Amino acid sequence: MAERAPAAAAGPIVRLAGVNKWYGRYHALHDIDLAVARGECVAFWGPSGSGKTTLLRCIAGLESAQSGTMEVAGVRKAVGPLVRPAPTPGVGMVFQRSALFSNLRVIDNLSIGLRRVRRMERREAEATAMRYLARVRMADLAPRYPSQLSGGQRQRVEIARALCMDPQILLFDEPTASLDPELKQEVGEAIAALARDGRTVIVATHEPMLIDALRPRKVLLKEGAIAGEQSAR
Answer with the residue of higher pLDDT: 40 or 48: 40
E-strand ranges in 37-98 read: 41-45, 67-72, 75-77, 91-94
pTM: 0.88
Looking at the DSSP bridge assignments, the partners of residue 22 are: 27
| Beta-carbon count within 10 A of 155 CB | 28
Answer with the residue of higher pLDDT: 187 or 55: 55
Query: Is 230 strand, coil or helix?
Result: strand
Query: Is 15 strand, coil or helix?
Result: strand
- Tell the CATH superfamily of the 1-90+167-233 domain: P-loop containing nucleotide triphosphate hydrolases (3.40.50.300)
Domain residue ranges of the chain, discontinuous segments joined by +: 1-90+167-233, 100-165
| Continuous segment of H or E residues that includes residue 120 | none
Residue 6 pLDDT exceeds 60: no
Give residue-wise pLDDT tens across range 61-105: 999 999 999 999 999 999 999 999 999 999 999 988 878 899 999
Length of the chain: 233
pLDDT of residue 231: 83
